[in-house]
Structure 1
Amino acid sequence: MTTRSQGLPLSPYRNHDDDDVGMDYPAPVVEPEGHPAFGHESEMRERIAHAKRVVVKIGSSSLTNDDFTVDPNKINHIVDALQARMYDSDIIVVSSGAVAAGMGPLGLVQRPTDLATKQAAAAVGQVHLAHQWGRSFARYHRTIGQVLLTASDAGRRDRARNAQRTIDRLRQLRVVPIVNENDTVATSEFHFGDNDRLSAIVSHLVSADALVLLSDVDGLYDRNPAEPDARFVSEVRTGHDLKGVVAGDGGLVGTGGMASKVSAARLASLGGVPVLLTSAANIGPALDDASVGTVFHPRENRLSAWKFWALYAADVGGTLRLDAGAVSAVTAGGTSLLAVGITSIEGEFQAGEIVDIIGPDGQVIGRGEVAYDSDVLAGMVGKHTEDLPEGQRRPVVHADYLSNYASRL
């Protein structure tokens, strides 16, 4: 495998500019002999190593100390490696840590569970976190830009496009985008849930070539890696490779955990984005030759940008319940949804909104862009096309704007 340190001045462990002489770079990660998370090679790792647009997500524990303060040394270590990769790649950072960083200044000893305190901690912590990111990148004469997103921003197509344009413009201006969920205004009903999922959505939003998920674990194991018989999983090509894998929840300051990271990695792969999962301590080799951690292969028949957004990011305005025959037609693909196959509707929505499509057993089978307002559609339910007025004979959801979950990994 060709690495950046072979022929190109891209190692995060050596100085690159005269202005940087005298800086303290972290010691290179020494590959432990026989350690299962190191020394891997594959075509997919080569693809990640040479990706031109990379989203890098860093977990809370990789940015903060035990006393819930932002650790400048940890951030410096990460920024050194990011800077090295930025010689030939665009980097978008998805940073956790706002709530955790606010806990220390507020005197909190455990992560808050009520929404108001969590948002207060995020409001305080976001300032400290952004300051440290800016200070660290300033060592390389780089400016950062903070991009705070809510699920509603990604859920509405116009706002998602606006966020995309903002990030693209920051990149054009040679500014490093630092993305985080806007915890200060997000509600429990409308939030990404964790920054792992946010990073997958952002990867899709910016058409990334790779996603690197960094936490405090060096890769995916089939059980707690502290157990002596835990097996390391180096490559995940399909859901079959996850058979028997038991992933845990988040830690002391984070909301993610391995289960969240696996879910986010599979989500990104549906959009055609390869994912490397490893620890922040291994960020050097992760961004150099991708020889560490676990790689999730992207789905070959990737979802289109619109279908990915509709299925996994869009706000939902209502629900259409189908009979069994319509479910079979919709899940087969290429078939528009007609009024005759709908048994009932729920919610108040306008034409052009995204709606959930569910079967007779209540299972959500997909989503689509509805062509009629809910009050109009209520009078069309169950009717054949020829029995409808001339202006209501279009499909309720056209095949081009209908996506189902049957193709998930």
Structure 2
Amino acid sequence: MATVRDAKRLVIKIGSALLVDRATGALRAEWLASLAEDVARLRARGTDVILVSSGSIALGRGVLGLPATDLSLEQSQAAAAVGQIRLAGAYDAALARHGLTSAQVLVTLEDSADRRRYLNSRATLEQLLRLGAVPIVNENDTVATDEIRYGDNDRMAAQVAVTAGADQLILLSDVDGFYSANPMQDAGAHRFDVIEAVTPEIEAMAGDAGSGLSKGGMKTKLMAAKTATAGGCDMAITQGAVLHPVRALEEGAAATWFLAQGDPQQKRKAWIAAMKPKGRITVDAGAAGALAKGSSLLPAGVAQVSGRFGRGDPVEVADEAGRVLGQGLTRYDAGDADRIKHLRSDQIEDVLGYPARGPLIHRDDMAI
């Protein structure tokens, strides 16, 4: 069974109720400090950590004196604008005590639905992690309308986990796992330690309207589990209100683990391989050999570009004999790719007028 100690890249989802006291609207500073300690310990042993956090609207509504009842879209956006800066500041201060750099990343549903924006998000997260930062991801509630909202941070966390190639996702919740029925109503309800697949029978157990044990809570968590596990990421639901919640999970706290359906990198490459290509990039013998060894495709190794494709589109990669070597997502459109073929990376800016975006196709975006 999966354990947090096995994680190479971990996404942790934090809900508003964990961060913000519902009665006072104040930040739960002691709890946040304990989470920061958990993150510092994870980072010290080499685990990449991404936090997906709610809380901006909850923090902002108190500052603006908005009611505790449901807010209009405009009121929610205003509360988010005020709360986001406070939320980011709180995370920055908590992590800085451990010598960690935080980074705020605001996203909307379009950032995963649009392939180009998806690649931009993935590249940004990858670069932040490579530089040692801890990304704090939140939905951009100041501009998100109903049409472009994820709608809940459980599913957003699962999408972030898949986008970032995480191997584990932890949903810090108000319950300690997934139960066969609502334990507050059914004394015979039992918690699942491990769920290997989200079957219709499991979905039927998710409950009715309420809070964390309800359709509004557990059903979205099951949707998150389906997304995460299909992308090769294990997912855990565990009680988050305790201090040091990740350490508690490591030390055996109650939880339900949903098991991944394969490796995240393998799942991503299978997804890329299944796309319909919009063009072809022909490479020379040297580049073909480098690709076979797991290298990225550099412009210098490109012999020919054909087809009409945009940045982020899938393209075939073939050798000069016409044999298809694989498929990948290109970082340049067809016109720019053709202009920079044969060029070294340090020559690209002079030709295109902007700095090189690294390889033409990164090895993580290519299925050979």
In structure 1, what is the Cα distance between the partners aligned to 2:198 and 2:132? 38
Q: CA deviation digits over 1:287-329, x for unaligned, max 9?
A: 5256530000112497843776999xxxxxxxxxxxxxxxxxx
Q: 1:55 and 2:15 equivalent?
A: no
List aligned pairs for 1:57-96, cutoff 5 A: 57-66=13-22, 67-88=24-45, 89-96=47-54
**Conserved in 2, the CA contact under 8 Å of 1:271 and 1:308?**
no
**Conserved in 1, the CA contact under 8 Å of 2:238 and 2:249?**
no
In structure 2, what is the Cα distance between the partners aligned to 1:153 and 1:78? 27
In structure 2, what is the Cα distance between the partners aligned to 1:301 and 1:101? 38
List aligned pairs for 1:363-402, cutoff 5 A: none
When residues 82 and 135 of structure 1 are mapped into structure 2, their CA distance, relative to the original with a 3 A threshold, is same
**Conserved in 1, the CA contact under 8 Å of 2:198 and 2:222?**
no
Which amino acid letter does the alignment assign opposite residue 54 of structure 1? Answer: L
Structure 2 equivalent of residue 217 of structure 1: 175
Structure 2 equivalent of residue 247 of structure 1: 207
In structure 1, what is the Cα distance between the partners aligned to 2:31 and 2:218? 21
Residue 249 of structure 1: CA displacement? 5.0
Residue 277 of structure 1 aligns to a residue whose secondary structure is: strand
**Conserved in 1, the CA contact under 8 Å of 2:177 and 2:255?**
yes
Count of aligned positions? 271
Q: CA deviation digits over 1:374-403, x for unaligned, max 9?
A: xxxxxxxxxxxxxxxxxxxxxxxxxxxxxx
Q: 1:265 and 2:233 equivalent?
A: no
When residues 156 and 109 of structure 1 are mapped into structure 2, their CA distance, relative to the original with a 3 A threshold, is same
In structure 2, what is the Cα distance between the partners aligned to 1:170 and 1:177? 7
2:191 to 222, 232, 235: 232
In structure 2, what is the Cα distance between the partners aligned to 1:158 and 1:246? 35
Q: Which runs of 5+ in 1 are unaligned?
A: 1-43, 312-349, 355-409
Which amino acid letter does the alignment assign opposite residue 274 of structure 1? Answer: D
Residue 33 of structure 2 aligns to a residue whose secondary structure is: helix
Q: 1:305 and 2:261 equivalent?
A: no
Structure 2 equivalent of residue 293 of structure 1: 255
When residues 243 and 159 of structure 1 are mapped into structure 2, their CA distance, relative to the original with a 3 A threshold, is closer
Q: CA deviation digits over 1:206-264, x for unaligned, max 9?
A: 10011111121111112223233322122111234616413355649xx9522211210
Residue 273 of structure 1: CA displacement? 0.5
Q: CA deviation digits over 1:145-200, x for unaligned, max 9?
A: 00000111111111111111111111122111000110111110111111111111
When residues 243 and 205 of structure 1 are mapped into structure 2, their CA distance, relative to the original with a 3 A threshold, is closer
Which amino acid letter does the alignment assign opposite residue 270 of structure 1? Answer: A
In structure 2, what is the Cα distance between the partners aligned to 1:259 and 1:266? 11
Which amino acid letter does the alignment assign opposite residue 233 of structure 1? Answer: F
Q: 1:117 and 2:41 equivalent?
A: no
In structure 2, what is the Cα distance between the partners aligned to 1:103 and 1:248? 28
Residue 276 of structure 1 aligns to a residue whose secondary structure is: strand
Residue 281 of structure 1: CA displacement? 3.2
Q: CA deviation digits over 1:78-118, x for unaligned, max 9?
A: 11222222222110100111111111112123253421111
Q: Which runs of 5+ in 2 are unaligned?
A: 275-307, 314-368
Q: 1:132 and 2:122 equivalent?
A: no
Structure 2 equivalent of residue 318 of structure 1: none
CA RMSD of aligned residues (A): 3.0
Which amino acid letter does the alignment assign opposite residue 11 of structure 2? Answer: V
**Conserved in 2, the CA contact under 8 Å of 1:145 and 1:176?**
yes
When residues 102 and 163 of structure 1 are mapped into structure 2, their CA distance, relative to the original with a 3 A threshold, is same
Residue 157 of structure 2 aligns to a residue whose secondary structure is: helix
When residues 137 and 256 of structure 1 are mapped into structure 2, their CA distance, relative to the original with a 3 A threshold, is farther
In structure 1, what is the Cα distance between the partners aligned to 2:270 and 2:80? 32
In structure 2, what is the Cα distance between the partners aligned to 1:256 and 1:220? 14
In structure 1, what is the Cα distance between the partners aligned to 2:208 and 2:35? 25
**Conserved in 2, the CA contact under 8 Å of 1:194 and 1:256?**
no
In structure 2, what is the Cα distance between the partners aligned to 1:51 and 1:260? 23
**Conserved in 2, the CA contact under 8 Å of 1:56 and 1:91?**
yes
List aligned pairs for 1:136-151, cutoff 5 A: 136-151=94-109
Q: TM-score, normalised by structure 2?
A: 0.67
When residues 284 and 197 of structure 1 are mapped into structure 2, their CA distance, relative to the original with a 3 A threshold, is closer
Q: 1:277 and 2:240 equivalent?
A: no
When residues 134 and 256 of structure 1 are mapped into structure 2, their CA distance, relative to the original with a 3 A threshold, is farther
The structure in which a higher percent of residues are helix is 2
When residues 309 and 203 of structure 1 are mapped into structure 2, their CA distance, relative to the original with a 3 A threshold, is farther
In structure 1, what is the Cα distance between the partners aligned to 2:111 and 2:253? 35
